[in-house]
With several copies, the nearest count.
Chain A
Amino acid sequence: MTTITYRQALNSTLGEELERDPKVLLMGEEIGIFQGSYRITEGLLQRFGPKRVVDAPIAEEGFVGVAIGAAMLGLRPVVEIMTINFILVAIDQVVNHASKIHYMFGGQVRVPLVIRTPSGGTGQLAATHSQSFENWFAYCPGLKVVAPATPYDAKGLLRAAIRDDDPVIFIESLALYDTKGEVPDEDFVVPIGVAEVKRAGHDVTVVAYSRMTAVALQVAQRLAEEGISVEVVDLRSLRPLDRPTIIASVKKTNRAVVIAEDWYSYGVTAELAATIQEDAFDYLDAPVQRVAGLEVPLPYAKDLSAAAKPSAQSLINAIHRVLHGTRNNHG
């Protein structure tokens, strides 16, 4: 075990996989000479050369399509999209091609493609640079969508994603890049499609992923001091969604709060609340509480920006609501 950052976990895994398999290549804007906008690919161009680490022009639709086509012929491209906001110009390729090619053509070719991209946003990045679209990808059959919250999961899931023969959308978070955690030194993978109970508890289940898992774990720690025992389920994968793990937890605690950084309506928390009421209805002592972003294009001004995103405090409030049975009021 070594303690490393989330960024180091990603960077070292990319290096190891480039080393392991000559068919793996990295492609994206500014990942080479610039060393990566968020330095995830630092040093890799120097180590592996421009054939394996490809600086792409600003043409996301084009190069995502190129990566899909190359994957159909057996390469294993790992594409970086600088932030998830910029994938909208390429989403047609992801959804109309990558997700469908294996199924639509009767299983004749595989698309072993990984698209890595940070989602969400803190720090006043404003309306077009702070969005979350993982729910859109999670909606699409044929894709796999993962969103690790720790360096351990980042490493294990990135390995799994690169070795997987289907297109995987790998969701990162700017705010997690500098967080630290222990990671085994030997080769390991974290299976796609499997959630993890990151902290056991008995009063309430909090279901989260990515940065919100970190928030949930902090909150759980704080509430433990108040005598409230919070179980934290970290989804890790949004598609496939590990319903059994979520449901087992809720059946134990009888109360659930679901949290995500995206917008409230039609976001990830909608699916989570729907799933829980569906499969654990008789076990629920109170309605599932959702915590998510305010439904506005993220404003730039500091206070507004902070207010629009879910926080530890908004999670604590929701936990109190679910414990004391307070009802929502949509007015």
Chain B
Amino acid sequence: MTKPALDNHTALSAAQVAELRHYYYQMVLMRRFEERTNEMYVKAKIGGYCHLNLGEEATIVGLMAALKPEDYIFTNYREHGYILARGVAPGPIMAELFGRETGVSGGRGGSMHLFDVSKGFMGGYAIVGGQVPLAVGAAYALRYQEQPGVVVAQMGDASTNIGAFYESLNLAKLWKCPVLFFIVNNGYGMGSTVEMGSSEPDLWKKGASFRVHGEQVDGTDVLAVRDAVRRLRDHAEATGEPAILDVVSFRFRGHSVIDADRYRDAEEVRQGREQHDPLRHYATWLQDHALADDAWFATLAEQVEREVQEAIDFANAGPDPKIEDIFTYMYASPVPNTPGPEAARRLL
């Protein structure tokens, strides 16, 4: 951690201590959730494309720590950790990855399309940059209805090269939409570096053509991320001014679970994992500030292990959606002549 966020921890209330520990809990939970997700994928319990948040734990927990219940979040396809840290139970998330009716999206979405409207977690999108205008639209609706809150448009570094992102910056600024453009800068879009994709590789400067303020923060420092988001979030809420936060992190593995990561130097990856491991950093920090000891870490590890196993058990136990329900959710307002169960019968 670059700067210890805490100088005089003796002044901390019990609630504050609990909160600081809770961040660590969330980071470990995410770590183990993703590791076991990888395992479940290999066991063919999970299918499709599957992208993990390993290495991005501080980025995500820091973000969620700063958001309020009235805020909304739109993400890309690498979002397991986001919905977890937003407070959705691990069971229904794992169940979604398993494609169960008990999953957060009823098994219809899968890894890339997690959703929980009750938590303001608005998905899980897989067209690069496509979620960004949606997030601006949600912020637009907040303003229109004079509601509190802001909206987070999460995206990857390589996604900042697509037109939808730029159009969104312009519209958000023009229409005073309180959006935080949250760029998870893990240095790669699949195998491409930031420099290969962006003529302006300082991603926080990409608001310059739109008068949108930008900042960079160390994404392996959970407190730094939290504090930066808090500041930008509150400013956005108060003024309707959007902002960019360029959150630098390190991608621990390949782009997705099936990517062998051959294009990165093995040594570079090994070092990166060591130097940029957000959990290790934060654990040390907690210890240095006497906020946690070995016993606490050990108990926590056990607890998380159990919780993730319970999530897997929950997912395993859940029923598959029934084929006769394939047209359920098709339309919100039913109208005549919609293809329905007969069409299913007929084609199958």
Contacts and interface: CB of A to CB of B under 8 A. Distances in A.
Q: Do chains A and B touch in the complex (CB under 8 A)?
A: yes
Contact of B336 (A64, A104, A194, A301): A194
Contacts of B171: 56-57, 59, 62-63, 66
B15 interface: no
Interface residues of A, number: 98
B219 interface: no
B91 interface: no
Contacts of B106: 106-107
Contact of A329 (B140, B141, B342): B342
B115 interface: yes
B337 interface: yes
B323 A93 contact: no
Contacts of B209: none
A108 B125 CA distance: 15
B305 interface: no
A55 B48 CA distance: 25
B74 A124 contact: no
Interface string A151-167: 00000000000001110
B90 interface: no
A126 B49 CA distance: 9
B348 interface: yes
B123 interface: yes
A264 interface: yes
B142 interface: yes
A103 B328 CA distance: 8
A66 B109 CA distance: 22
Given A295-B343, A328-B346, A72 B122 contact: yes
Contacts of A191: 335-336
Interface in A62-116: 62-75, 85-86, 88-89, 92-93, 96-97, 101-112
A331 B108 CA distance: 26
Contact of B197 (A54, A57, A300): A57
B316 interface: no
Contacts of A59: 161-163, 167, 170-171
B113 A104 contact: yes
Interface residues of B, number: 89
Interface string B146-180: 00000000000011011110011011001100000
B187 interface: no
B191 interface: yes
Given A66-B137, A66-B140, A129-B126, A61 B167 contact: yes
A123 interface: yes
Contacts of B338: 193, 240
A69 B162 contact: no
Contact of A69 (B103, B138, B163): B138
B272 interface: no
Interface in A139-174: 141-142, 144, 164-166
A167 B320 CA distance: 28
Contacts of A97: 125, 127, 130, 134
A62 B168 contact: yes
B47 A34 contact: no
B331 A102 contact: yes
A181 interface: no
Interface of B: 47-49, 72, 74, 96, 99-101, 103-113, 115-117, 122-130, 132-142, 144-145, 158-159, 161-164, 167-168, 170-171, 174-175, 189-192, 196-198, 262-263, 320-321, 323, 325-333, 335-339, 342-344, 346-348
22 contacts: A62-B170, A63-B133, A65-B137, A65-B164, A69-B137, A73-B145, A75-B140, A75-B144, A101-B123, A103-B108, A109-B117, A110-B332, A127-B108, A142-B330, A164-B333, A193-B336, A299-B107, A300-B111, A303-B323, A307-B323, A307-B344, A330-B346
